[in-house]
Amino acid sequence: MRAKALVMSMSVVLLATVAGSPSAFAQKAKTGGAEYGSPPPTVAKPIIEGAQAKLVNGVAHAPASAPAAVQQAIWAANTIITKPYRYGGGHRKGFKDTGYDCSGTISVALNGAGVLDSPLDSSSFMRWGEAGKGEWITVYTNPGHAFVVIAGLRLDTSAAGDPGGRKGPRWRPALRSTRGFRARHPEGL
């Protein structure tokens, strides 16, 4: 009986502490219900030492020395690399779709980096950001196609230069010719 009373009084103290603490409430809200014993959902955010991203089993590992925005761009792109190519895909509000075209794929990555608020098409990317190659992120674009190189890895829906020939948004193992493309980059990256 004494143990039951002790457990009840400890529960009341704990409940009062959590209920009265705004920071505890905010923490619970951020975890999406972890207070009920369910762990928050996790998204893989692979990191590799150095300044160059690395492709491992089709998934890009962000370089540890890259700015956080670059790492976030890589991880955002990783969430769509198994999706199929779909013309006009990725241009919905929120960047969520069942398939992605070239510019929709780039838009997802740049939104992850925090440098793009709404999706753009390949022609619009020709005027986006700053002219020339970036230090970490470079968008290569023309009126008909666009791809991006992030920390040395190419994200592209075109299988050009990819021995696997897979279509759709993928990290590609090799760079491709940039002839006929305009290079653009986000400010500071």
- Cα 156 from Cα 175, distance rounded (Å): 10
Burial class (CB in 10 A: 0-12, 13-18, 19+), 9: exposed
Mean pLDDT per 10-residue run, the chain (189 residues)?
A: 40 34 32 33 78 94 97 97 94 92 97 96 96 98 97 95 88 93 97
Burial class (CB in 10 A: 0-12, 13-18, 19+), 142: middle
> Of all helices (H) and strands (E), which one includes residue 16?
helix 2-19
- Cα 111 from Cα 147, distance rounded (Å): 15
Domain ranges for the chain, please list them.
2-36, 47-185
Q: Is 59 helix (H, G, I), strand (E, B) or coil?
A: strand
Are 189 and 115 a contacting pair, CB within 8 Å?
yes
pLDDT at 91: 93
pLDDT at 43: 55
Dihedral of alpha carbons 17, 21, 27, 31, sign? positive
- Cα 98 from Cα 80, distance rounded (Å): 9
The pTM of the full predicted model, rounded to 2 decimals, is 0.76
Q: Is 111 helix (H, G, I), strand (E, B) or coil?
A: helix
pLDDT at 164: 82
pLDDT at 161: 83
Domain formed by 47-185, architecture? Alpha-Beta Complex (3.90)
Burial 18-33 (b: 16+ CB within 10 A, else e): eeeeeeeeeeeeeeee
